[in-house]
Amino acid sequence: MAKYMLVSFKTCPWVQRSAIVFREKNTEFELRHIEPDNRPDWFLAISPHKKVPALTIDDKVSLFESNAINEYLDETITPRLHPADPVERAVNRAWTDYVPTFASIVTATAYADTETDYNKAVEQIPVPFERVEKALEKQGSGPFFNGAKYSLVDAAYAPFLQRYYFLDRVKKLGHIEKFPRLKAWMEALLARPSTHSFPPAEFEAMYRDGLKRRNKWVSRFIEPARAAAE
Ligand SMILES: N[C@@H](CCC(=O)N[C@@H](CS)C(=O)NCC(=O)O)C(=O)O
């Protein structure tokens, strides 16, 4: 079997998306954490945009961009997570293409400098939520995007639905309750062991620490780490 090393910052959602695919495929990989403020030369040499994730294969080949990495893993390791039907596969890819927009709107509250900007960011969240809710209605009965079978779409959205869940617990956002299919999808993904690179409470505490360090408006609502982990 090939030797895989996935280069990561501890709380990066894009890395998490690829780590999930490794776990769904029951494939061993090394999750190598580096510090954002101290990116080693060997990493800069394999990551053209200086971003994580980067994946090395057998210490020879390297890949970058979480979506490209996940497509590669799906082509080379069974079980296939993409649907067999080309139309369904295209629909899946189209919804995965929406992830960067979804992610930036759903996590924008974490980057707002003022209360006004925070409130504006909160107001935008129903827009992507509504779109994905409608997609889920078309797709079927859940619990996953394509129904019973887990797919790359699930792996792509899981880290960002988890970030919404965390932010909702820092300061109540209260949007997902209005989108029952999306809420059920989030809950199914949070309950899925593959979503988690760390024990969930430990990871939430790490996420809150990062949020606190970023020192944006919402940081003031973060309770001490110990309370978050309880
Ligand atoms: N489109 C990229 C996004 C990756 C990304 O934004 N990674 C962040 C960490 S979560 C990063 O490395 N940022 C460092 C930088 O922008 O310099 C992917 O899907 O892999």
3 state SS of 4: strand
- The pLDDT score that the predictor gives to residue 227 is 46
- Residue 212, classed as helix, strand or coil, is helix
For residue 92, the CA-to-ligand 1 centroid distance in Å is: 22
- Ligand 1 close to Cβ of residue 9 (< 6 A): yes
Q: Can you tell me which atom of ligand 1 is nearest the CA of 69?
A: 20
DSSP codes, 16-73 = HHHHHHHHHTT---EEEE-BTTB--HHHHTT-TTS-S-EEEETTTEEEESHHHHHHHH
> Is the Cβ atom of 163 under 6 angstroms away from ligand 1?
no
pTM of structure: 0.96
CA distance 119 to 112: 9
- Ligand 1 site, residue 50, Cβ cutoff 6 A: yes
- Is the Cβ atom of 12 under 6 angstroms away from ligand 1? yes
138 Cα to the center of ligand 1, angstroms = 31
Question: From CA 170, how far away is CA 122, in angstroms rounded?
Answer: 13
Q: Where are the beta strands (DSSP E) in the chain?
A: 4-8, 30-33, 54-57, 61-64
The answer, yes or no, to whether any atom of ligand 1 lies below 6 A from the CB of 65, is yes
Cβ of 43 closer than 6 Å to ligand 1, yes or no, is: no
> How many angstroms does the Cα of residue 5 sit away from the middle of ligand 1?
17
Q: Is the pLDDT of residue 20 over 50?
A: yes
Report which protein residue has its CA nearest ligand 1's atom 19: 66
For residue range 92-120, list pLDDT tens digits in order.
Answer: 999 999 999 999 999 999 999 999 999 99
Pseudo-torsion of CA 218, 219, 225, 227, nearest 10°? -40
Question: pLDDT tens-digit profile of 144-168?
Answer: 999 999 999 999 999 999 999 999 9
d(CA 40, CA 132): 38
Could you tell me the domains of the chain? 4-76 (3.40.30.10), 86-229 (1.20.1050.10)
More confident residue, 223 or 161: 161
For ligand 1, the distance from its centroid to the CA atom of residue 208, given in whole angstroms, is 19
CA 67 to ligand 1: nearest atom = 19
Residue 100 CA, closest ligand 1 atom number:
1
Q: Does the pLDDT of residue 79 top 50, yes or no?
A: yes
Residue nearest to ligand 1 atom 14, measured at CA: 51
Average pLDDT over residues 169-177: 98
Helix crossing, 152-170 with 86-97: angle to 10°?
30
Give the model's pLDDT for residue 81. Answer: 98
**Segment 25-65, tens digit of pLDDT:** 999 999 999 999 999 999 999 999 999 999 999 999 999 99
Which helix or strand (DSSP H or E) is residue 209 part of?
helix 200-214
pLDDT band for position 134 (cuts 50, 70, 90) = very high
The burial class, CB within 10 Å (0-12 / 13-18 / 19+), for 141 is exposed
